[in-house]
Amino acid sequence: MAEKNEFQITRVINAPQSLVWDVHTKAEHLSKWWGPKGFKMIATKVDLRPGGIFHYGMQAPNGEMMWGKFTYREVVPKEKLVFVVSFSDEQGGTTRHYLHKEWPMEILNTLTLSEKDGKTTLIIKGTPINATEDEINTYVQGFKSMDQGFGGTYDQLDEYLATL
């Protein structure tokens, strides 16, 4: 059961666990599906190790740029990633959400994968860290929007996997 400040999604993906791992950890795959619908990935860098980062830049349909990063804390190949998600600048520095000034600067995420009958169950749990009470409240109020955002992102993953 999720804690009150914890966002969680579960998705069953019609692909083996090893492939789902690869599309979450390799730049050549992430650049094809990661991010909100309609955004174009223009830069990706993945250094998959504790202390390493996934740094990316996306262009919105209106041409505006957005940067983000994952800082990896734990990497258990094909099973688990623990990482801190934050907005960033082009150089990889941590920044505030470009639209929400009260959004937490850091979200600790845990992604787990398990396989059954050739399908992979993916679970992502996220909770703010080093956040103020106002930032935590803003995060919790964003759960519905995050559900929609992750839903669209993982729809794109399903579409991408169908091409492999």
pTM of the predicted model as reported, rounded to 2 decimal places: 0.92
Q: Has residue 2 got a pLDDT over 70? A: no
35 Rama sector, left if φ>0, alpha if ψ -120 to 50, beta otherwise: left
Give the pairing of strands 53-59 and 65-76. Answer: antiparallel
pLDDT at 100: 80
Q: Where are the domains of the chain?
A: 7-161
pLDDT tens figures, 80-126? 999 999 999 999 999 998 778 899 999 999 999 999 999 999 999 99
- Selected from 3.30.530.20, 3.30.1330.30, 1.10.260.40, 1.10.645.10, the CATH number assigned to the domain covering 7-161 reads 3.30.530.20
Q: Has residue 1 got a pLDDT over 70? A: no
Going by C-alpha positions, the residue among 48, 42, 46, 47 that lies closest to residue 67 is: 42
